[in-house]
Amino acid sequence: MSLIAAVGEWEARQQADETRPETLVKHAKQAFHRGASCSGPMKHAEPQNSAISNPCFTVSSPRARNSETSLPASVVDGLGKLRSGWRPSSVDPKLWRVIVADALRLSDDEWGEQALALGWSVSDLWGLNDRRQGLAIWLDGRRTVLLDERSVIVADGDRRCQFNRCRHGMPGAKMLWEI
């Protein structure tokens, strides 16, 4: 079962029985067990109060902004520069605010740490080069729903969109804080 199909099946069940949280977790777990490939933990975009011990469906609450992080020091420093309000003069201020919000949300909601643990590179998440943009730029305000070692599923209203990680890296990529 593809990742998109698993998300669709889970959401259909969620809408059918929204009043029973234990049912939601049970059905989501079943959807992922029926054939979704998983080489590492995934997490849900809207954390619950409890976690399932299945490595393919880990639920956790986002950390507070000032908590310890396992992001590389260069990323923490770069995100600090973005938080300070710095903006390259060549980028439209409205567009930059959306990009920065998405870049910070990747770290604040732990999606960045999760992606790095699954083999994504820093440039896959916060970089860009002349041929490709990283996830933070691509998100454009959309909410992350699922993440695995190859792709991210995001919510765009009622639709779902997929961002695929670049298998060969991003040669010559600059990070958002280096533009």
Residue the block writes with tokens 């804080």: 177
Average pLDDT over residues 64-70: 51
Long-range contacts formed by 166-169: CB under 8 A, 24+ apart: 166/124, 166/132, 169/121, 169/123, 169/124
Burial class (CB in 10 A: 0-12, 13-18, 19+), 3: buried
Write down the mean pLDDT value for the chain.
Answer: 75
- The pLDDT assigned to 167 comes to 78
Instruction: Read off the pLDDT band of 177 (50, 70, 90).
Output: very high
Output the pLDDT for position 7. 67
CB 145 within 8 A of CB 6: no
The pLDDT of residue 14 is 58
pLDDT tens digits for 123-137?
999 999 888 899 999
Residue 163, H or E segment: strand 159-164
- Average pLDDT of the residues in 67-96: 87
Instruction: Name residue 66's amino acid.
Output: N
d(CA 36, CA 5): 9
- Tens of pLDDT along 17-42? 544 455 544 544 444 444 333 334 44
> Please, which pLDDT band fits residue 62 given cuts at 50, 70 and 90?
very low
The ranges assigned to domains in the chain are: 1-61, 62-179
pLDDT tens digits for range 149-161: 999 999 988 899 9
